[in-house]
Amino acid sequence: MAPSFNAQTGSFYAPDLETMPPEARLSWLNGRLAQTVAHAYEHAPAVRRIFQQAGLTPADVATVADLDRVPVTRKDDLVELQRREPPFGGFLGVPLTAVKRIYQSPGPLYEPEGDEPDYWRWAQALHAAGFRPSDIVQNTAAYTMTPLGFMLDNGLRALGCTVVPAGPGNTKAQIQMICELGVTGYVGLPSFLMRLIEEAEKDGVRWQQDTQLRKAFVIAEPFPPSLRRALAERGILAHDAYGTAETGNLGFECGHGRGWHIPYDVIVQVVDLNSGRALPAGAEGEIVVTLLTPVYPLIRFGTGDLSALDDSPCPCGRTTPRLVGWLGRVGQAVKVRGLFVHPRQLSQAIQRFPGVARFQAVVDRPKAMDRLTVRVEPNPDVDLSGQAAAIGQALQETIKLQAVVELVPPGTLPADAPLLDDRRTWD
């Protein structure tokens, strides 16, 4: 299932798969999924256990739609499984001799890297960011312990770029290399690129005259519009992307500012926090990933990140759906009467009432029963007393739970009050 060399692009990158009609892609993905599931069930004991516990055989999970039947394995579960069955928790689907490198990321979690040119699928993302075979690219992501450095290195090499494996730090030497080697591209953290630029300018480097660095691929931290503008002022066009250490590339910008295109060769779903079922486009939920690889076949891995899908057409011509961005962590959710409640859901419901200045949801447990109270503060001169029932209704629709709505006078809630405050004690 390794990507094959594409003579047309001169690289391990297949643009046809990005622009194929969605129905054709779905049938292609279904085929790869069935293959992956059959292989994983046979060779990865953890996958077989998950299927058996859910009463499933590989034949039951032959299409993307069938994935709803497979329970989500969350990052915490994976940490525990790896601790019990080191190093990969029973998810390795190939002999160890087929593993090129092993990384460790916080958790700790161990990630195997398969011996393929672009195992983590970054080539397509880097291509969308404008990287081409003639580029000399400074890779400032770390090459040690964690996978990002080699992930991006593999993707750049699969495209035919020349890589400068700089890693983080050593700003003076990095600036010297950028100037003297005629480096044309940057990959790494956006903040570090800005630091390099500021240091260089302090030393008298005029960025646009003295360097040829005009493209950047930034990742691993938020990329605020102000930073994007600051880079654009130096003539640098930057694209950002989303991924995880366990799963690699999960989404990337195409230049049209419409979110992150999902790579063509991985299944990325947005699922309901409670049921684990895939949600339609537009609905917020957890990003859940199914890797189509025999090496480390994570099937329905919960990233813990929140987003929503957008499947409207994109002017770039890619037909892959997009993630709308990073909307928070599942970890901020609190379980109330057995259901996850996330602060974002509360905000979504409350936003419908423009008279509300701020709110705070409090969970407590009088008489051994969870209680959710949403304290709502109006804007000055607004009377919300007629709207309490409607607010309660909006909350019920969004979080599927009944909440007590309590109207409080303006100035009651501190500006930094957490949106969701869990005050239950369990001793």
Residues at the contact surface with Zn ion, assessed by CB under 5 A: 254, 256, 314, 316, 318
Residue 128 or 361 with smaller CB distance to Zn ion: 128
In the complex, least distance from residue 258 CB atom to Zn ion, rounded to whole angstroms: 6
Rounded to whole angstroms, the Cα distance separating 61 from 54 reads 12
In the complex, least distance from residue 261 CB atom to Zn ion, rounded to whole angstroms: 6
Q: Are 216 and 236 in contact (CB under 8 A)?
A: yes
Residue 121 or 318 with smaller CB distance to Zn ion: 318
Residue 316 or 419 with smaller CB distance to Zn ion: 316
In the complex, least distance from residue 345 CB atom to Zn ion, rounded to whole angstroms: 28
Residue 161 or 314 with smaller CB distance to Zn ion: 314
> What is the DSSP pairing of strand 339-341 with strand 322-323?
unpaired
In the complex, least distance from residue 238 CB atom to Zn ion, rounded to whole angstroms: 16
| CA 34 distance to own-chain centroid | 24
In the complex, least distance from residue 313 CB atom to Zn ion, rounded to whole angstroms: 9
DSSP secondary structure code for residue 3 in this structure:
P
Rounded to whole angstroms, the Cα distance separating 350 from 359 reads 8
Residue 169 or 317 with smaller CB distance to Zn ion: 317
Tokens for 354? 């423009």
Rounded to whole angstroms, the Cα distance separating 147 from 4 reads 23
Residue 288 or 314 with smaller CB distance to Zn ion: 314
- ∠ CA(88), CA(90), CA(91), 5° rounding? 75
In the complex, least distance from residue 125 CB atom to Zn ion, rounded to whole angstroms: 12
Give one DSSP letter per residue of 57-106, joined into a string: -GGG--SGGGGGGSPPEEHHHHHHHHHHSTTTTT---S-GGGEEEEEEET
Collapsing DSSP to helix, strand or coil, 323 comes out as strand
Q: Are 10 and 260 in contact (CB under 8 A)?
A: no
